[in-house]
C-alpha cells in the first residue's frame, strides 16, 4: 500500500501514537458536509453527519464508516485506541457510556490524522462482497478489474466477531473467506463485477474451491441490497439455462471483518499467482 508523505508532526501522531493539543486541530470546530479520510492512506473513515460537538477539544464522531476503524487496547491499559483499518494509522481513542448522543459512543480523533473531502467532491463508491474460495486469488483477480478502487480480503457470513484466520479455518465460526470490493459506478457496474466473480471460480463446486476444501471456501454472493440480489439471481439463472449446476449461495450482507494484514495483497507481496482462480468465459 502506498502512503502519503507525512510531516514530522503528522508522523509523531499518526505513526508514533502521539496526541495533538486540545482545541488546536483544524477539524475541531469544523462543520462542513463531506467525508473525513485517513491522512496517511486516504481510506474513508467518518461521515460529517456523525460528527458532533463534544466540547472535549478534539473532533468527535458517534459512528464510523463500516469497517473503516479498528479498535485495540491502548498501551496505557485503560483506553481503547482506534486505528485506520486500512493502514493502521493512529487516529485517537473511542469512549462509550458518556450519553453525549443517542449512539452513546465518542470517537475522539486527532485532526492531524485526517483529511477532508467536501460533499460536492465526494465520489460515489459502491461496495460488493463475494466469496469464492481462497481470498488471495479472488483479491488478485478483482484488483485488475476496471473501475475497482479497492479490494480487501476478509471474513463474513458467520457469528464470531472480529475472527482470526485460525478461527475461521477451524470451521467453527460460520465465516467464509471473502473479499470486499469498492468500485466506482461511473466506471463499472455491479453486473460486470458479479459476472467476473462467476468466471474466475467454479460456482458448481459445493464444498470448497479447487483443492481448498472446507465450509470457509464455499461460493457465495453477499448482496447489500435488492438490486444486487436481483443481478446475482439473473446471472445464476442464465448459467443454469446453459447447463451449469450452481452451488453459489445468495446471502444478505452483514459485517465484513477485514483479515490480518499479511493476507492483504498476498500475491503482490509474494510475487505469486492464483492456483485456482483462472478466468473461464461462461457468459
Give residue 121's pLDDT band: very low, low, confident or very high (50, 70, 90). low
**pLDDT value, residue 203:** 97
pLDDT bin (cut points 50, 70, 90) of residue 3 is confident
Mean pLDDT of 123-135: 88
Pairing of β 114-118 and β 90-96: unpaired
Same fold, 8-121 and 126-270: no
| Candidate list 38, 84, 108, 276, residue with the active-site label | 108
78: which 3 cell numbers?
485503560
- Find the radius of gyration of the CA atoms of the chain: 20
What CATH code would you report for 8-121?
2.170.150.20
% of the chain with per-residue pLDDT over 90: 85
Which one is the CATH code of 126-270: 3.40.220.10, 3.40.50.300, 2.40.30.30, 3.30.1060.10? Answer: 3.30.1060.10
Q: Using CA of residue 144, residue 256, residue 5, residue 28, what is the dihedral sign? A: positive
For 184-196, b/e burial (b = at least 16 CB within 10 A) is eeeebebebbbbb
Inform me whether the pLDDT recorded for 184 exceeds 90.
Answer: no
The pLDDT tens digits for 21-30 are 999 999 999 9
Tell me the β-bridge partners of 51.
Answer: 61
User: Where do the domains of the chain lie?
Assistant: 8-121, 126-270
Q: Looking at the whole model, is its pTM more than 0.85?
A: no
| Catalytic status, residue 38 | no
Q: Is 134 among the residues known to form the active site?
A: yes
86-106 pLDDT tens trace = 999 999 999 999 999 999 999
Catalytic pick from 38, 134, 169, 276? 134
Q: Find out whether 219 and 133 touch, Cβ atoms under 8 Å.
A: yes
Question: Which pLDDT value is given to residue 185?
Answer: 86
User: Which helix H or strand E contains 162, and what residues bound it?
Assistant: none
Amino acid at each position: 500500500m502506498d502512503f502519503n508523505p507525512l510531516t514530522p508532526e503528522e508522523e509523531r501522531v499518526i505513526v508514533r501514537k502521539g496526541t495533538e493539543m486540545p482545541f488546536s486541530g483544524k477539524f475541531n470546530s469544523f462543520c462542513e458536509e463531506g467525508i473525513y479520510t485517513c491522512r496517511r492512506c486516504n481510506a474513508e473513515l467518518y461521515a460529517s453527519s456523525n460528527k458532533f460537538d463534544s466540547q472535549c477539544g478534539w473532533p468527535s464522531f458517534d459512528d464510523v464508516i463500516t469497517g473503516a476503524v479498528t479498535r485495540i487496547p491502548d498501551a496505557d491499559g485503560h483506553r481503547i485506541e482506534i486505528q485506520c483499518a486500512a493502514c493502521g494509522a493512529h487516529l485517537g481513542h473511542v469512549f462509550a457510556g458518556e450519553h453525549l448522543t443517542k449512539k452513546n459512543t465518542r470517537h475522539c480523533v486527532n485532526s492531524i490524522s485526517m483529511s477532508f473531502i467536501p460533499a460536492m467532491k465526494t465520489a460515489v463508491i459502491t461496495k460488493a462482497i463475494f466469496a469464492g474460495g481462497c481470498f488471495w486469488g479472488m483479491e488478485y483477480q478483482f484488483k485488475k478489474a476496471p473501475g475497482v478502487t479497492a479490494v480487501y480480503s476478509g471474513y463474513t457470513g458467520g457469528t464470531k466477531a472480529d475472527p482470526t484466520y485460525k478461527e475461521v479455518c477451524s470451521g467453527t465460526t460460520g465465516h467464509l473467506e471473502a473479499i470486499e470490493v469498492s468500485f466506482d459506478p461511473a466506471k463499472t457496474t455491479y453486473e460486470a463485477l458479479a459476472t467476473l466473480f462467476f468466471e474466475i471460480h467454479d460456482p458448481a463446486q459445493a464444498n470448497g474451491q479447487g483443492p481448498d476444501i472446507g465450509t470457509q471456501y464455499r461460493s457465495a454472493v453477499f448482496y447489500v441490497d435488492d438490486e444486487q440480489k436481483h443481478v446475482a439471481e439473473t446471472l445464476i439463472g442464465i448459467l443454469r439455462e446453459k447447463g451449469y449446476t450452481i452451488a453459489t449461495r445468495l446471502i444478505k450482507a452483514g459485517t465484513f471483518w477485514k483479515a490480518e494484514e499479511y493476507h492483504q495483497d498476498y500475491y503482490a507481496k509474494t510475487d505469486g499467482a492464483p492456483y485456482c482462480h483462472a478466468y473461464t468465459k461462461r457468459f
